[in-house]
Amino acid sequence: LMSRSPSPYYPRSRSRSRDRYYSKHSSYKRDRKHRRRSPSYDKNYSYESSRKRSTTKKECKKVDVSVSTCNESLPTTTLVQIPLELQLDAEFNISNISEGAKKWMEEQINERLRKKEEEMEASLQQRIQKSKQIIEEQVRSQIQMELQTEHNHIKVLEEETKKRCEKLENDIKLKMAQLEEEKLKMKAERLEMLNAKGKFEMERAQMLKEQKSREQTEKDNKLFNYCHLINVSIFYIITSMFRIASFAGNSIIRNNCIRYLNTIAKPEMIKIDMVGTKNNVALITLNRPKALNALCAQLMTELTQNMLTLDKDDSVNVFVITGSEKAFAAGADIKEMIEQPFAKVYGGNFLKFWSDATKLKKPVIAAVNGYALGGGCELAMMCDIIYAGENAKFGQPEINIGTIPGAGGTQRLTRTVGKSLSMEMSLTGNMITAKEAKEAGLVSKVFPPNTLVDEAIKLADKIAEQSPLIVSMAKEAVNKAYELTLSEGLEFERRVFHSTFATKDRKEGMTAFAEKRKPKWSNE
């Protein structure tokens, strides 16, 4: 019978398994492509894997044959001599083996074991090396991942920290602004309180002054009735003495009469002492220590009036003005100036009478210790010579209170120290030390604070030894240099020089020089 299967491995004869396989009602019906065959019914059947193995063996046999045939044609050399016992085809028995064969077998076994151990060692080393590389790569990758994670975490922390810092900075700025605003408010409130306090003190001082004036008026009215006749009598007696002295030429009586008539009102804010070797130097001390000798209207009035009076006294040759060791004068009295209206200041020519101190014919020396600020610096510049203590400080700080110097701070200072330094002091309110003032030409000499007044009196004594008339002419000529051009100043100087030849003191001075003796001045 012909086989229904095209496969050559299927049996040619009919069998029960085949009928059962192809039965319609059989449970073994499958597709031809995937059907199974049983080796029990088919001797020629073999699985595909077994067929492959068989073909491989056949190929190997073919290869061996070819190799053997190739080897037969080549000359062969025996490397190891195999014992005869092992070459025989007889049955192998260990007792029949000779010692040489045993030794050879042992060597072969040891050699193969050694090679096997080397191969295993090499294999093990390779595996260890590969394992190391794998572990290193894994560790490296793990470390890189951890580092990357840590880096990302650090970045996140940095961003968060930066945001927090910015927030804190903004909060601090806001709080600082709030504190600054509160500080400004407190400052404004404090200024208001100070203004109110100043007004209260001014009103109180005014009331006390009015009360004192009323009391003084009452006392004067009481004394007037008793002393009127006595005062009139004394006045006529002194006037008579003055007339007699003028006819007789007695200068001592004349000077004392003038001093008495011009110093009836005793000053309260200045002290006047006659000092020097001949008591012909008037030492005027500003005496308002609680206010650092601030130049109020009363102080300046007393100062200018008494200096004008003493300028007419022939027994006074030189003036020396000084303050305390802490302050020469700390400026004008600001409390007195706060409530001054424009109409009163402008219409009344406020501070104009201060310049009366520059109208004196006799020289004036300023002995400056401590602060000379604002009006104090201007008063020092009104003097003819300035001696300063080592602790002295000069300045024009009016810019800090919203005004400018008003008694010569912009004019005399500029002519003395130059535009640049004067501009700096006026625009910033900066102070300069005594050393800087001397370098700038504002100060003549600098001394220790405790010897300053004595040095000023020594200078005044030296000036007082000269002719008072010639000294006043020299002072006028030097001061004109601030007002005239060079040609006009030279012309004025020449005329004053010519006028000295009309005086007796010029003749006495030249004669005494020729005769090598001290001159005797007559002030004529």
Q: Which residues contact 73 (CB under 8 A, 6 or more apart)?
A: none
Cα separation, 54 vs 59, in Å, equals 9
Q: Please give the full DSSP string across 130-159, using - where no structure is assigned.
A: HHHHHHHHHHHHHHHHHHHHHHHHHHHHHH
Q: Are 417 and 394 in contact (CB under 8 A)?
A: no
Please confirm, yes or no, whether 378 is among the known catalytic residues: yes
CA 516 to chain centre: 66
Cα–Cα distances (Å) from 341 to 179, 346, 354, 407, 511, in that order, read: 35, 9, 19, 18, 60
Please confirm, yes or no, whether 158 is among the known catalytic residues: no
Q: Are 328 and 369 in contact (CB under 8 A)?
A: yes
Bridge partners, 319 (sequence order): 282, 364
Q: What is the CA radius of gyration of the chain?
A: 65
Closest by CA to 437, choosing from 456, 422, 423, is 422
Q: Which of 282, 332, 357, 388 is catalytic?
A: 332
Q: Which of 330, 357, 367, 378 is catalytic?
A: 378
The one-letter amino acid code at 179 reads: L
The one-letter amino acid code at 206 reads: Q
> What does the block give as tokens for 188?
């404004």
Closest by CA to 295, choosing from 326, 341, 329, 263, is 329
Closest by CA to 83, choosing from 117, 108, 49, 61, is 108
Q: Are 263 and 306 in contact (CB under 8 A)?
A: yes
- CB-based burial, 38-61: b 16+ in 10 Å, e otherwise: eeeeeeeeeeeeeeeeeeeeeeee
Q: Which of 374, 375, 408, 509 is catalytic?
A: 375
Cα separation, 286 vs 267, in Å, equals 11
CA 96 to chain centre: 113
On the CB side of 424, CA atoms within 13 Å amount to 8
Please confirm, yes or no, whether 375 is among the known catalytic residues: yes
Q: Which residues contact 130 (CB under 8 A, 6 or more apart)?
A: none
Q: Which of 398, 409, 440, 460 is catalytic?
A: 398
Q: Are 387 and 455 in contact (CB under 8 A)?
A: yes
Closest by CA to 523, choosing from 477, 466, 462, is 466
User: Annotated active-site positions, please?
Assistant: 332, 375, 378, 398
